[in-house]
Amino acid sequence: MIKLEHIYKNYTTSRAHVLALSDINLEVNRGEIFGIIGKSGAGKSTLIRCVNLLEKPSSGHIYVAGEDLTLLSPAKLRAARRKIGMIFQHFNLLSSRTVYDNIALPLELTGQKNIEKTILPLLDLTGLSGKKDRYPGELSGGQKQRVAIARALASNPHVLLSDEATSSLDPETTFSILQLLKNIRDSLNLTILLITHEMSVIKNCCDRVGILQEGQLIEENEVGEFFARPKTDIAKNFIASSILQHLPETISSHLQQTEAPDTHPILRFWFFEGTATQPIISDLSLRFDLRVNILQGNVEYIKKHAMGIMVVACQGNRAKILEAIEFLKQMGIKVEILGYVPNNIITFI
C-alpha cells in the first residue's frame, strides 16, 4: 500500500548542508499498522511528511496504492492526497467551528454533497456523537484528537498518517486513542503509518516497527520479534526504557559500583520467549546454594512473545554467584550486575 524507494531528503541552510533522510526503503502492507520510532531529530516527521509530499524528497520514489506520487502533476497530486488522511500532535482544529463543522471542512472544500451522510457514521465510529455541536475549547485533549481523526477519515482515505498524534496526551487517553486507531484499521481496512518516540505506542498498537536513526532506517521487524530479539543497541535501549523500573531509593542510595567485603550483588535479568517461564529463582537456589531476594519483576506478552525483567539481590559464595551468572547466560538470559550493596541493607529470609 505504501512503498518508499531510495528516499533522500537534503536541506541546505546558510550554515550547513543537512541530510535528513538517507536511502530509506520501506514497504507498509495493506491493512497494517506500521510504527516508526526514533529519538528527536532522527528524521521521523520529515519521513512521514514525505509520504504525502508535504515535504518533497530530494530523490527517490513514493508509491501509495500503486501510484508514484513523485511523478504526478500538481492537480493529480492534490487528488491523490485526498486518499491520504493525516493527524497531528496538536490537532489543528478551527476554534470557531463545531465538532461537526471541523469534520465537514475537507468535504466542503471539495464541494461534496450530502455531507451529513458521511459525517454521522464517523461521529459514531470515533465516539463523538454526543459532542457534535461542541467547540474545540469545550473538549479534552483526547476528544480533540478524536475530532482530528474523524476529519482525516472524512474523505474516505486508503491510508492514514499519524505524526506523533498521542505525544501530548496522558497515558490513559493515549491508550484509548490507540485502541480507536486499531478499531478504525479493522473496520475500514485502513493502512496506518505512524511515528512516535514512545515504545508504549509501538507495543500497544503496531504490527511492525522500524527504527530511524540519523535519517537512516536501521532496523525493521514484526513487533513481537522486535521486542524478543532486538538487533541494534538503540532498539535494546528503547525496549529497556519501556519496561525498566527505578530501584527503590533504599537500595539505589547504597549501591556501590565495586565489590567490597560484606556486600552482595544486585543482578538484573532480561528474559525472552521460553526463558520467561523458567523457574529461574529455584534453579539459582537449588543448583548454586544461593539465597535470592526478588526486588522487582515483570513479565509481559507482546504479540504472543513473552518477555520480562527481574532485579534480585543474591547472597552466597562468590564463585557460586559467578557460576550462576554464566549458567543463566547459557540459557539465553541476559544478566547485568547493577552494583553491590552492604549486607545489612537487604534481608534474606
Q: pLDDT confidence of 268, banded at 50, 70, 90?
A: confident
Compute the distance between CA of residue 227 and CA of residue 46 in angstroms, rounded to an integer: 26
What are 110-153's pLDDT values in tens digits?
888 889 999 999 999 999 999 999 999 999 999 999 999 999 99
Q: pLDDT confidence of 349, banded at 50, 70, 90?
A: low
Dihedral (CA of 140, 144, 149, 154) sign: positive
Position 168 scores a pLDDT of 84
Distance of CA 104 to CAs 111, 120, 139, 145, Å?
A: 11, 10, 18, 15
Burial class for 158, CB neighbours closer than 10 Å (0-12, 13-18, 19+): middle
Q: Among 83-92, 198-207, 237-246, 293-302, which stretch is predicted with the lowest mean pLDDT?
A: 237-246
State the average pLDDT over residues 185-204: 92
What are the phi and psi torsion angles at 136 (to 5°)?
-50, -35
Position 137 scores a pLDDT of 94
Q: 147: closest CA among 189, 177, 191, 188?
A: 177
Sheet holding 263-272, edge to edge: 291-302, 305-315, 263-272, 334-342
Tell me which of 300 and 47 has the higher pLDDT: 47
What are 306-316's pLDDT values in tens digits?
777 888 899 88
Does residue 303 carry a pLDDT above 80? no
Tell me which of 101 and 246 has the higher pLDDT: 101
Q: 51: closest CA among 73, 75, 83?
A: 83
- Mean pLDDT computed over every residue of the chain: 89
Residues 159, 126 contacting (CB under 8 angstroms): no
Position 14 scores a pLDDT of 76
Tell me which of 34 and 305 has the higher pLDDT: 34
Dihedral (CA of 49, 55, 61, 65) sign: positive
Does residue 339 carry a pLDDT above 70? yes
Position 186 scores a pLDDT of 93
State the average pLDDT over residues 182-210: 93
Q: pLDDT confidence of 99, banded at 50, 70, 90?
A: very high
pLDDT-above-70 percentage for the chain: 97
Tell me which of 46 and 242 has the higher pLDDT: 46
What are 44-60's pLDDT values in tens digits?
999 999 999 999 999 99
Whether pTM exceeds 0.75: yes
State the average pLDDT over residues 277-284: 78
List the grid coordinates of 327: 549458567
For the chain, list the domains and their CATH numbers: 2-231 (3.40.50.300), 244-342 (3.30.70.260)
Position 227 scores a pLDDT of 82
Q: Among 27-41, 55-69, 182-196, 226-240, which stretch is predicted with the lowest mean pLDDT?
A: 226-240
